[in-house]
């Protein structure tokens, strides 16, 4: 299974992020799955890719040319796909993915997973969309999605396929089902 993971190129200020992202990568690589991610060697993105590779997994990075021009790509990954811009990058990452995980990240992570959530809600994508709610990171987003349902602006049916996982064990459970 190709698992597309969205996450930031920063490390953040919580040391549990690095530990959890390396645990996720070790599981992806060690379980025979492959990683699709943004292609950067920086921050949490680099930690994730490195841990997948160290566990024997394959890593496909999808990176726009302007990041390549800045020298941000991770040269050790299995395959690098260079896109002309961020829109093409998002489309390629969705095309390649069989499952989608949003690790805690910034506005780019939010934008990318929001597109996946929308495609899942519209039934244009039949794949699990998992928000890795490490230490409650996505609690407010969960509350907002619930509020959309309460306001009759969304529904349980529309949000079927969007999951929140507090830890790697819950991610594994979602992906095996």
Q: Is the torsion defined by CA of 59, 25, 105, 15 positive or negative?
A: negative
- Please tell me the predicted confidence (pLDDT) of residue 74: 87
Q: How far apart are CA 160 and CA 27, in angstroms?
A: 25
pLDDT tens, position by position, 82-125: 999 999 999 999 999 999 999 999 999 999 999 999 999 999 99
| Residues of the chain with confidence (pLDDT) below 50 | none
145 CB-side CA count, 13 A: 20
| pTM of the predicted model as reported, rounded to 2 decimal places | 0.96
The answer to whether the beta carbons of residues 56 and 26 sit under 8 Å apart is no
Q: Is residue 171 within 8 Å of residue 142, measured between CB atoms?
A: no
**Domains of the chain and any CATH numbers:** 2-176 (3.40.50.450)
pLDDT score at 36: 98
Q: Using only C-alpha atoms, what is the Rg of the chain?
A: 15
Mean per-residue pLDDT of the chain: 96
| Residue-wise pLDDT tens digits, 75-92 | 899 999 999 999 999 999
Spatial distance between the Cα atoms of 153 and 105, rounded to a whole number of angstroms: 26
């Amino acid at each position: 299974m190709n698992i597309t993971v969205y996450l930031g190129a920063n490390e953040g200020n919580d040391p549990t992020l690095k530990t959890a992202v390396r645990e996720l990568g070790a599981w992806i690589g060690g379980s025979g799955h492959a990683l699709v991610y943004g292609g950067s060697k920086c921050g949490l993105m680099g930690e994730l890719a490195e841990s997948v590779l160290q566990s024997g997994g394959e890593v496909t990075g999808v990176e726009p040319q302007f990041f390549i021009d800045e020298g941000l790509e991770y040269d050790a990954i299995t395959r690098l796909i260079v896109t002309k811009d961020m829109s093409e990058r998002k489309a390629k990452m969705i095309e390649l993915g069989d499952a989608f995980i949003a690790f805690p990240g910034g506005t780019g992570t939010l934008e990318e997973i929001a597109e996946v959530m929308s495609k899942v809600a519209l039934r244009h994508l039949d794949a699990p969309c998992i928000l890795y709610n490490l230490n409650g990171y996505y609690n407010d987003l969960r509350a907002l999605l619930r509020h959309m349902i309460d306001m009759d602006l969304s529904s349980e049916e529309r949000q079927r396929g969007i999951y929140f996982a507090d830890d790697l064990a819950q991610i594994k459970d979602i992906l095996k089902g």
